[in-house]
Amino acid sequence: MKEQLREYIKKHMIKDARYPLKDDESLIKGGLVDSFSLVELALFIEEQFGAHFDDPELTKDNMDTLNLIVANIEAKL
């Protein structure tokens, strides 16, 4: 799951498939992606893993690192 997310984020959000994205690297606070991209990510997560996120859950506090994203998905499964 984590590697699928990492590849999706690198290719579709950061737009650099070779970017060395770390598990605890800040995506939003670090300026790699904007908060609007979280909606796109949520759609990917729902399609790939069956976990649904409501709009109020799509915050930098919940979705700012790969580790946080995976933890939130696992909590919903």
Domain 2-76 falls in which CATH fold?
1.10.1200
Taking the model in full, what pTM does it have? 0.92
Contacts of 6 (CB under 8 A, 6+ apart): 21, 66
Q: Each residue of 20-71: pLDDT tens digit?
A: 999 999 999 999 998 789 999 999 999 999 999 999 999 989 999 999 999 9
Residue among 65, 64, 67, 63 at smallest CA distance from 53 = 63
More confident residue, 10 or 60: 10
Residue 66 host element (H or E):
helix 66-76
In this structure, which amino acid lies at residue 50? G
Q: What is the pLDDT of residue 36?
A: 82
